Structure 1
Amino acid sequence: MITATAMSGVIPPVCTPLTPAYEVDTASLTRLVDHLLDGGVDGLFILGSSSEVAFLPDGHRKVVLDTVLGHVGGQVPVLAGVIDMTAPRVLDHVRVAVGAGVDGIVATAPFYTRTHPAEIAIHFRAIAAQAGVPLYAYDLPVSVHSKLGADLLLELAAEGVLAGLKDSSGDEGGLREVLVGRRDRGIPSFSVLTGSELTVDSALWMGADGVVPGLGNVDPHGYVRLFRAASQGDWAAARAEQERLLRLFGLVHVGGPHMGRGSSAMGAFKAALHLRGVIDHPTTALPQIPLAAGEIADVGKYLAEAALM
């Protein structure tokens, strides 16, 4: 289902387990990778948002790369986020990731800097020119504060600069515009993956190639069932699985108003993995606020309702 330039299926953004001292917990990370592979996923995306990449120093990023790639050993393709503010900084991460053996890299538009579409195009062209592996654009306007327009993405795809897109914009109309434009321009190898994990069935029906679901860390089997049902044209089964996952996703809100949404979501994912026996600690990176014991217990209720405990 995956070639050197196109990806499809379920590609979870792998969480980064941490010790209470905020070091990468490599034993837990390898167990998490095995948990995902056992779930039947088609690839892995490390060092993305659900990996807490924005909080990880470069040394931690390298540990994640070496641990995951060494453990996977080519069983599935591995994409790595090379996310940073500008192309020169991104290229430093590209060299490390490519040297470690990744199958592709994922980059956002530049941020904390100019973000005119012409400058975004230069940014991606500069990265692709030196990468030596497929480059996937990450559309994440909530963090980057710049939406990647369909015309820009399709132009870069037609040039061979971009191998694909991870669309976490939440803009379903914009996603459809990319999918229709891909067909109209005759560039089927341009892989379009949704990061909107609660509307995967809709995205697949529109023609998306796969999903990059943060909740897939907790329940990879569910997303694989959803994708397979959609691939077989069983849209009723796909919708039923999506609705089950929608209810499970409620766990991201257990943190309440005393912390940010990101702290609550990451804390919930890690608490769920801890309760399921996959990782040793539910530690989230600083300065995120950790879940309290009662909130972790609430995560357990969602897992029980989903028959995951």
Structure 2
Amino acid sequence: MVTPLRGPDEIDFDGASRLIERLIEGGVAGLFILGTTGEAPSLSYRLRGEFIRFVCKTVDKRVPVLVGVTDTSVVESIAVAGVAADAGADAVVLSMPYYFPAGQTELVHYIRRLVPQLPLPVMLYNMPSLTKVNFDIESLAQLTDLSQVIGVKDSGGDLAYFERLTALKQQRPDWSVLIGPEHLMATSLGLGGDGGVNGGANIYPKLFVRCYQATRDGDQAAETALQNQIEKLQAIYLVGKYASRHIKGTKSALSILGICDDKLAEPFNHFEPPERARVAEVLESLNTDLIE
């Protein structure tokens, strides 16, 4: 879920409320806040706490809420997890600290030290492009004995890796293994995955829920039609030239649809009119019967 903003350190509460209701009405199985699409590293700890409490109160246990607690500081990760637990969240999502890359031995030791200090179940998050560290399969295998760890979200985009990751469910059949790149969700289910944490579902939740269900049901025709729409939607992430274009494209689309503001956390800017028009063109090209 994106973090709707009105200013550099101010939540767009009206927009956040509309987005939450759209997601739940769209059939999503849960909300993951303060992740990559949620711009967590750019947000103040005050705002993160405020957003956690608002989302948990608004959701009111209708679906699970997972809260990202990844930080460069162990102390701050624990503090944000405490806020999440007090607010009624269901789990936290943890990746490795970014900036200084860690080795695999350090990764394993870090998770083993930190997880017992967290007050909620933990979903591990493999995001090597931004953390500069990959959760090697061998490292994750060493962590399967931690009962508090309930699964892994993988945003690496390597399907061979993902298939090896799902094999760890032989040791931990209770694990949920979820994929990040939304265009790979349907394929990932055939490799033993359990679902997707899809940024595009902010915009059209029913599209992704329907694709998931069609794939699970073995409805090849429906899956193909829905996957085609998902592939078309990917064009919004190619607008602009900076790495922040994925979040810009998502928030621009939400703004065009009248759901929430398109402001980003500093130092990033929202799309200007030419880029916004290109996002609108992509949305207009989609089949409304399949996405809404």
TM range (shorter): over 0.9
Matched, 1:282 2:267: no
Matched, 1:272 2:253: yes
Q: Paired residue for 2:230? A: 245
The C-alpha deviation readout for 1:77-99, integer Å capped at 9, x for no partner, is 00000010143331122112212
**Cα distance between partner residues in 1 of 2:176 and 2:216:** 16
Cα 1:86–1:119 change in 2 (3 A) is: farther
- The correspondence of residues 61-100 of structure 1 with structure 2, limited to 5 A, is 61-100=48-87
Residue 21 of structure 1: CA displacement? 5.1
CA contact (8 A) 2:49 2:83 kept: yes
**Cα distance between partner residues in 2 of 1:234 and 1:155:** 37
Q: Paired residue for 1:261? A: 243
The C-alpha deviation readout for 1:103-157, integer Å capped at 9, x for no partner, is 0000101333351222211221222212231101110000110100112213212
CA contact (8 A) 1:267 1:284 kept: yes
**Cα distance between partner residues in 1 of 2:49 and 2:197:** 22
Q: Paired residue for 1:225? A: 210
- The correspondence of residues 1-309 of structure 1 with structure 2, limited to 5 A, is 14-20=1-7, 22-113=9-100, 115-183=102-170, 185=171, 187-255=172-240, 257=241, 260-262=242-244, 264-279=245-260, 281-308=261-288
CA contact (8 A) 2:251 2:262 kept: yes
Which secondary structure state, in structure 2, belongs to the residue aligned with residue 138 of structure 1?
Answer: strand
Residue 232 of structure 1: CA displacement? 0.9
**Cα distance between partner residues in 2 of 1:25 and 1:74:** 21
The C-alpha deviation readout for 1:203-249, integer Å capped at 9, x for no partner, is 00111011001111011010000111111122342233122111111
Name structure 2 gaps, 5 residues minimum. Answer: none
Counterpart of 1:247 in structure 2: which amino acid?
K
**TM-score normalized with structure 1 length:** 0.89
Residue 171 of structure 1: CA displacement? 1.4
Q: Paired residue for 1:11? A: none
**TM-score normalized with structure 2 length:** 0.94
CA contact (8 A) 2:101 2:133 kept: no
Name structure 1 gaps, 5 residues minimum. Answer: 1-13
Which deviates the most, 87-96 or 55-64?
87-96
Which secondary structure state, in structure 1, belongs to the residue aligned with residue 5 of structure 2?
Answer: coil
Counterpart of 1:122 in structure 2: which amino acid?
H
Which deviates the most, 117-126 or 137-146?
117-126
CA contact (8 A) 2:200 2:250 kept: yes
Counterpart of 2:69 in structure 1: which amino acid?
V
CA contact (8 A) 2:229 2:287 kept: no
The C-alpha deviation readout for 1:163-198, integer Å capped at 9, x for no partner, is 110100111111101112322x3x210110000111
Which deviates the most, 190-199 or 104-113?
104-113
Q: Paired residue for 1:9? A: none
**Cα distance between partner residues in 1 of 2:229 and 2:243:** 22
Counterpart of 1:271 in structure 2: which amino acid?
S
Cα 1:20–1:84 change in 2 (3 A) is: closer
Cα 1:294–1:175 change in 2 (3 A) is: same
**Cα distance between partner residues in 2 of 1:68 and 1:307:** 30
CA contact (8 A) 1:168 1:195 kept: yes
Deviation beyond 6 Å, 4+ runs, structure 1: none
CA contact (8 A) 1:140 1:169 kept: yes
Which secondary structure state, in structure 1, belongs to the residue aligned with residue 182 of structure 2?
Answer: coil
Q: Paired residue for 1:3? A: none
**Cα distance between partner residues in 2 of 1:114 and 1:271:** 32
Counterpart of 1:198 in structure 2: which amino acid?
H
Residue 161 of structure 1: CA displacement? 4.3
How many residue pairs get aligned? The number is 289
Counterpart of 2:281 in structure 1: which amino acid?
K
Counterpart of 2:164 in structure 1: which amino acid?
E
**Cα distance between partner residues in 1 of 2:141 and 2:101:** 21
